[in-house]
Amino acid sequence: MLIAVDGLTRTYDLGEAKVHALRGVDLAVEAGEYLAIMGPSGSGKSTLMHILGCLDTPSTGRYVLGGEEVSSLTGRELAKVRNRRIGFVFQNFNLLPRIDLVANVALPLVYHGSVSKAERLGRAAKQLEELGLGHRLKHRPNELSGGERQRAAIARALINEPSILLADEPTGNLDSKTGREIMDILDGLSAAGKTVCLVTHDANVAEHAGRTVHMQDGAIAREDFS
């Protein structure tokens, strides 16, 4: 079991009002699974993804990632988990605008700490080549198309060989043709054994996954298998 989530709740305290973003989520994800989390905005799917990605911590409940209880880790330990075990792909790519692609992709290795600069750049270049961006290494993100940027972002997410790839609306900012290309890459990664978790409100995207979790009002409403 790669991910085991038990009775997860997340409450935002906004002074007078309390917002219950998650109201008790139980979820288990096997290694190698291709999962989609679906739901309308406000359903809690983003909050769940943030907790799964260790960017946020649950108010109550347990989250075990790869056998390690992460709901009780300190900020620094969570940073380490994000760095080594989780790869993020964002809707708006989130590449750093002032550095070139190789540097962007190598950035997680920088925070990893023990990788030499030459090795970092070498691995980043190799990762970019695998995703068909070998000719763009020294380009800045704003010199690239949306599809190329998202491919670079995937390269960055994969550079530390994470145990799970979290993709938040990965095709949301792309036209349908480029979106299909990105989904092909994610399908390929899944086929190669990578655990992939999509977060989306788009049924066409979700149907790529083998299992779809539908969220409603901070809880899992139902699950589909395809």
Partner 1 sequence: MNLLESVGAGLRDMGSNKGRSVITMIGIVLGVASVVAVLSLMQGGQAQTEAYFEELGGLREIRITNQRTNRIFMTAAERASERLTYRDAQAIRFECPSVSYVDPEISRYLTVSYKDKTFQMRVLGTTADYVFADSMPVAEGRFITDRDLDTYANVIMMGPTYRDDLFGDEDWRGKQVLVEGIPFTVVGIMEKKEFYFRGGGGERNVLEWFNRGHYIPITTMIRRFTVDDQLGGLEISAKTVELVPTLMEETRTVLSRRHGVEDFDLASKSEQVQQRAEQEAFFNIIFWVIAFISLFVGGVVIANIMLSSITERIREIGVRKAIGASSRDVFIEFLVEALVVTSVGGAVGLGVGYGLVKLMETALIMPMAFSPSILVLAFLTSVAVGIIFGMFPALRAARLDPVEALRYQ
Question: What's the order of all strands across the beta sheet hosting 195-200?
Answer: 86-89, 164-168, 195-200, 34-38, 211-216, 219-225
Residues in binding contact with partner 1, number by CB under 8 A: 25
Taking the least distance from each CB to partner 1, the nearer of 111 and 175 is 111
187 binds partner 1 (CB under 8 A): no
Residue 160 CB, nearest distance to partner 1 (Å)? 8
The helix or strand, by DSSP H or E, that contains position 21, with its residue range, turns out to be strand 17-29
Contacts of 27 (CB under 8 A, 6+ apart): 3, 4, 5, 8, 48, 213, 220
Q: Which residues within the stretch 119-148 sit at the binding site for partner 1 (CB under 8 A)?
A: none
156 binds partner 1 (CB under 8 A): yes
Binder among 36, 58, 88, 124 for partner 1 (CB under 8 A): 88
Binding flags for partner 1, 89-108, as an x/- string (CB under 8 A): -x---xxx-x--------xx
Residue 95 CB, nearest distance to partner 1 (Å)? 8
| Cα separation values, 193 from 32, 56, 126, Å | 5, 27, 19
Taking the least distance from each CB to partner 1, the nearer of 118 and 225 is 118
Q: What residue type is assigned to position 6 of the chain?
A: D
* Structural contact between residues 156 and 125, judged by C-beta atoms closer than 8 angstroms: no
* Helical axes 146-158 vs 101-112, angle rounded to 10°: 20
Binder among 110, 191, 203, 221 for partner 1 (CB under 8 A): 110
* Structural contact between residues 172 and 166, judged by C-beta atoms closer than 8 angstroms: no
Q: Which residues within the stretch 65-84 sit at the binding site for partner 1 (CB under 8 A)?
A: 75-76, 79-80, 82-84
Residues that bind partner 1 (CB under 8 A): 50, 53, 55-56, 75-76, 79-80, 82-84, 88, 90, 94-96, 98, 107-108, 110-112, 117, 156, 160
